[in-house]
């Protein structure tokens, strides 16, 4: 799967309020080797840490 910043993804959060919760929004950052990504949540506008391996691209 080709990952592109600025496109819409969903993923499972791993920190704070989104721990274990699905987050949907624009991909801001990712680091495959650290299994880490940041999505800007479309509901709250907050940057949320998600598990890289859980990322799924949305249309």
Which DSSP string corresponds to 13-46? B-SGGGTT-EEEEEEEEEEGGGTEEEEEETTT--
Give the pLDDT confidence score for residue 11 in this predicted structure: 98
Does residue 3 lie in a domain region?
Answer: no
Question: What total of structural domains would you count in the chain?
Answer: 1
CATH code for the domain of 14: 2.30.30
**What are the backbone angles phi and psi of residue 14, rounded to the nearest 5°?**
-135, 10
Q: 1 lies in a domain?
A: no
Confidence label for 59 from pLDDT (cuts 50, 70 and 90): confident
Q: What is the residue range of 51's domain?
A: 8-57
2 part of a folded domain = no
Give the span between the Cα atoms of 38 and 52, in whole angstroms.
9
- Answer whether residue 18 is part of any domain: yes
Task: Quote the CA–CA distance of 37 and 50 in Å, as a whole number.
Answer: 5
Q: What is the pLDDT of residues 10-31, one digit of tens each?
A: 999 999 999 999 999 999 999 9
Specify if 16 maps to a domain: yes
């Amino acid at each position: 799967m080709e990952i592109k910043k600025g496109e819409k993804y969903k993923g499972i959060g791993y920190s704070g309020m989104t721990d274990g919760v699905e987050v949907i929004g624009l991909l801001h950052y990712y680091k495959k080797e650290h299994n880490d990504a940041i999505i800007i949540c479309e509901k709250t506008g907050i940057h949320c840490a998600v598990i890289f391996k859980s990322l799924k691209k949305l249309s």
